[in-house]
């Protein structure tokens, strides 16, 4: 902003960066757009040109005068101490309209870069490097990057460590909430690759931590069909036993949901139901009154909201929680919402925090249960 000639006493004329003149009285602190009347001229002195403490005057490349404050790092084109609010009718255009696009590009590039660094460390088998990469991220950044897949083949860090047979890295990545059943572009999971490569230690860890042995790739092959049975008999038996256990558990669940009734059982059940109907009606009414209205009321207060965010019941297992998180993550992951990554991120952050909290709660509950059982066994 350029200084102009002195006007009536106590007032000086200045111009804004747009060239509009305004008037400021250093004695009274008044600033006006119009020329004041009835005043005498003020003589220019060196003191009138002094800047407040900390401010320095510079000349830009365009020839404009700018003022910089070293402590606050603030830069302005209006002389400090002589600022004036713009009139209400003046509308200043804001650059915020383009900010979401810039943020989305930055977010995408950062996520891809973190995922690439993690995949490289996992493929090389350097556990401490994998730990350093993940430790440098926040919770949300970690869950965004840990399953970031290669654009060409769709392999994640967990895929690559399973292919190479780095069992310790596989275990660490899963405990850091990597998707144990992540799928490549061919539909292959880390367990399929570990079985195909004949990595017994890696297969054991994946099966122990809950990898799905029933999944099939795009060629309709499960992990048992992708291995050489004769050369890797131990792996085949391990997977086969796990498949039998899973099928048995699924059958039990189906039997509870859809129990099979014989004709004699139905007649007996009908007779008993009729005799107990009157007494049970009062008992059921009392039970409904005593039952908690909130299905999550049995959980600790600090995790109820996280169960609700993941939409899982209080009785959900770790496998149920993983499945619920995976479905919500696919829906709200910024990488799955091109053009709306900034809007999708808050939703993903909410379910990421909820997933971590619920997994921690289940881990603590499991440890407590094991400790109680051990104490009961050795102290009774």
The yes-or-no verdict on residue 99 having pLDDT over 50 is no
Q: Band of the pLDDT at 71, cuts 50, 70, 90?
A: confident
Question: Running DSSP on this structure, what letter comes out for residue 98?
Answer: G
Q: What is the pLDDT of residue 296?
A: 82
Residue 125 in any domain: the answer is yes
Give CB contacts under 8 A, 24+ apart, made by 327-336. Answer: 329/143, 333/144, 334/104, 334/107, 334/108, 334/111, 334/144, 335/108, 335/111, 335/144, 335/148
Are 134 and 225 within one domain?
A: yes
Are 64 and 112 within one domain?
A: no
The yes-or-no verdict on residue 138 having pLDDT over 80 is yes
The yes-or-no verdict on residue 86 having pLDDT over 60 is no
The residue that leads in pLDDT, 232 or 205, is 205
Percent of the chain with pLDDT over 70: 66
SS3 assignment, position 41 = strand
CATH code at 127? 1.25.40.20
Count up the domains in the chain and report the number: 3
The residue from 82, 114, 139 where one domain ends is 82
Residue labelled with tokens 């008992």: 283
Residue 110 in any domain: the answer is yes
Cα 113 to the chain's mean position, in Å? 16
CATH code at 72? 2.20.70.10
Residue 331 in any domain: the answer is yes
Are 253 and 133 within one domain?
A: yes
Residue labelled with tokens 């900010």: 99
Are 109 and 248 within one domain?
A: yes
> What mean pLDDT is predicted for residues 198-218?
92
What's the CA angle centered on 199, arms 206 and 360, to 5 degrees?
Answer: 20
The rounded mean pLDDT for the chain is 75
Are 114 and 26 within one domain?
A: no
The residue that leads in pLDDT, 209 or 67, is 209
Are 120 and 251 within one domain?
A: yes
Q: What is the pLDDT of residue 352?
A: 86
Please enumerate in sequence order all residues whose Cβ is within 8 A of that of 14, keeping only pairs 6 or more positions apart, or say none. Answer: 1, 2, 3, 4, 21, 22, 23, 24, 79, 82
Residue 90 in any domain: the answer is no
Residue 267 in any domain: the answer is no
The yes-or-no verdict on residue 161 having pLDDT over 90 is yes
> What mean pLDDT is predicted for residues 310-333?
87
Are 230 and 186 within one domain?
A: yes
Residue 89 in any domain: the answer is no
Q: What is the pLDDT of residue 168?
A: 95
Predicted confidence (pLDDT) per residue in 1-12, tens digit: 334 344 445 677
Q: Where in the sequence is the domain holding 359, given as residue range(s)?
A: 300-380
Are 74 and 154 within one domain?
A: no
Are 76 and 198 within one domain?
A: no
- Whole-Å CA distances, 122 to 128, 129, 159, 196, 249: 10, 8, 9, 19, 34
Q: Band of the pLDDT at 106, cuts 50, 70, 90?
A: low
Percent of the chain with pLDDT over 90: 23
The yes-or-no verdict on residue 45 having pLDDT over 90 is no
Please enumerate in sequence order all residues whose Cβ is within 8 A of that of 37, keeping only pairs 6 or more positions apart, or say none. Answer: 8
Are 15 and 64 within one domain?
A: yes
Residue 272 in any domain: the answer is no
Q: Answer left, alpha or beta for residue 19, where phi above 0 means left and psi between -120 and 50 means alpha.
A: left
Are 247 and 140 within one domain?
A: yes
The yes-or-no verdict on residue 85 having pLDDT over 50 is no
Confirm if 121 and 129 have CB atoms less than 8 A apart. Answer: yes
Residue 56 in any domain: the answer is yes
Are 71 and 110 within one domain?
A: no
CATH code at 345? 1.10.287.110
Rounded to whole angstroms, how far apart are CA atoms 332 and 170? 26
Q: Band of the pLDDT at 270, cuts 50, 70, 90?
A: low
> What mean pLDDT is predicted for residues 234-253?
87
> What mean pLDDT is predicted for residues 325-343?
80
Rounded to whole angstroms, how far apart are CA atoms 56 and 75? 10
Least confident of 30-39, 129-138, 210-219, 338-347: 30-39
Q: What is the pLDDT of residue 49?
A: 56
């Amino acid at each position: 902003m350029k200084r102009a000639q002195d006007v009536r006493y106590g007032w000086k004329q200045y111009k804004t960066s747009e060239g509009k003149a305004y008037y400021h009285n250093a004695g009274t602190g008044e600033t006006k757009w119009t020329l004041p009347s009835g005043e005498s001229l003020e003589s220019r002195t060196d003191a009138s040109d002094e800047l407040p403490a900390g401010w320095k005057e510079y000349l830009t490349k365009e020839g404009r005068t700018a003022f910089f404050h070293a402590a606050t790092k603030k830069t302005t084109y209006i002389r400090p101490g002589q600022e004036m609010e713009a009139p209400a009718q003046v509308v200043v255009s804001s650059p915020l309209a383009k900010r979401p696009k810039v943020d989305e590009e930055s977010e995408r590039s950062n996520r891809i870069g973190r995922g690439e660094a993690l995949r490289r460390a996992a493929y090389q088998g350097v556990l401490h490097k994998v730990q350093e990469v993940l430790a440098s991220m926040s919770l949300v950044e970690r869950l965004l990057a840990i399953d970031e897949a290669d654009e060409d083949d769709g392999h994640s860090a967990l895929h690559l460590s399973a292919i190479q047979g780095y069992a310790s890295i596989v275990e660490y990545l899963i405990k850091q909430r990597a998707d144990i059943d992540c799928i490549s572009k061919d539909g292959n999971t880390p367990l399929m690759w570990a079985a195909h490569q004949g990595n017994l230690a890696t297969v054991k860890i994946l099966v122990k931590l809950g990898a799905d042995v029933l999944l099939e790739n795009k060629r309709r092959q499960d992990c048992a069909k992708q291995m050489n049975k004769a050369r890797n008999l131990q792996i085949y038996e391990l997977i086969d036993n796990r498949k039998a256990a899973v099928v048995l558990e699924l059958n039990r669940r189906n039997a509870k949901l859809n129990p099979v009734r014989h004709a004699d059982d139905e007649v007996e059940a009908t007779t008993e139901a009729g005799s107990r109907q009157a007494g049970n009606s009062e008992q059921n009414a009392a039970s409904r009154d005593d039952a908690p209205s909130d299905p999550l009321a049995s959980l600790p207060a600090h995790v109820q909201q996280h169960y609700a965010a993941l939409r899982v019941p209080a009785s959900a297992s770790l496998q149920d929680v993983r499945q619920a998180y995976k479905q919500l993550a696919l829906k709200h992951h910024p990488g799955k919402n091109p053009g709306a990554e900034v809007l999708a991120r808050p939703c993903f952050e909410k379910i990421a925090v909820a997933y971590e909290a619920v997994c921690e709660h289940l881990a603590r509950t499991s440890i407590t249960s094991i400790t109680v059982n051990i104490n009961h066994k050795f102290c009774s």
